[in-house]
Amino acid sequence: MSDTRRDIPSDGAYTDFKEKMTYGDYLQLDSLLDSQKRLSDHHDEMLFIVIHQVSELWLKLMIHEIEAATNAIQNDEFQSAFKMLSRVSKIQSQIIHGWDVLSTLTPAEYMEFRNYLGNASGFQSYQYRLVEFVLGYKTPHIVKIYEKDEALHHRLQEAFEAPGLYDVSIQALAKNGFFINQSILERDFSKKYEQDSTVEDAWLEVYKNKDKYWDLYQLAEKLVDIEDWFQQWRFRHMKTVERIIGHKTGTGGTSGVGYLKKVLDHYFFPELWEIRSKL
């Protein structure tokens, strides 16, 4: 009789998966790792594809967490929302480090396969636009880009018309007794948010009385964390693009670095930055 015990690792790890789900099965690694289709024979195109695919996976998780946090705030479940928003900030730090890896690509190397990209550009990332929408920044011309894909267009339109993270945070101020202009509370959420004095006054009061309004104070700081990381991500994006292509026009038709510099000045939560000069 053969000694079958020698087939079993001493640490008890399973080795027979003929009828069991493996790690690769669960993560669908066959399809995931088969998704890096280079259009050129250039070695560094693999780096370019992987970095952008990884970023899209992180964006997917960010959207998942922000949407859940938005619902939690609407239901006054602040602690759950804080956990999710903290996770978003950690995700953002990972995406930022991705630029460090991509910046190892030199201009000469990128030029050898750039033409294969055609007009494909990160500007067209629908998940990046969804992140902007769920945070509360709405730009109508963006939705039009995706009209040819009915399901995707519907998904974007829903997020475009729904209250974003900052909208529900402002609603939370009103729920806690702060006066907020009715036009803000009842506004068309598909319109770009404009800074409001009553919102600023409310946040200023929260910061001056943080012990009394501890949940709102923590919420405000979670929002500032996210915006801070977002600005750092935009800056690293801009500098990486400048490092690799200089001031050439982007593959998607934008002005490239010029366009990226402009968006550095945008704020999702303007009042939370304004009050810092008034405390």
pLDDT in tens, the chain (279 residues): 444 555 555 577 777 788 889 999 999 999 999 999 999 999 999 999 999 999 999 999 999 999 999 999 999 999 999 999 999 999 999 999 999 999 999 999 999 999 999 878 777 889 999 999 999 998 877 788 888 889 999 999 999 999 999 999 999 999 999 999 999 999 999 998 999 999 999 999 999 999 999 999 999 999 999 999 999 999 998 998 888 888 777 666 666 787 788 888 889 999 999 999 999
Q: Does the annotation list 51 as a binding residue? A: yes
Q: Does the annotation list 87 as a binding residue? A: no
Q: Does the annotation list 276 as a binding residue? A: no
Q: Does the annotation list 43 as a binding residue? A: no
Q: How many other CB atoms are found less than 10 A from the CB of residue 67?
A: 17
Q: Does the annotation list 251 as a binding residue? A: yes
Q: Does the annotation list 22 as a binding residue? A: no
Answer whether 275's CB lies under 8 Å from 200's CB: yes
Q: Does the annotation list 254 as a binding residue? A: no
Alpha-carbon dihedral 35, 41, 46, 49, rounded to 10 degrees? -60
Q: Does the annotation list 266 as a binding residue? A: no
Closest residue by Cα to residue 122 from 263, 269, 21: 263
pTM equals 0.89
Q: Does the annotation list 235 as a binding residue? A: no
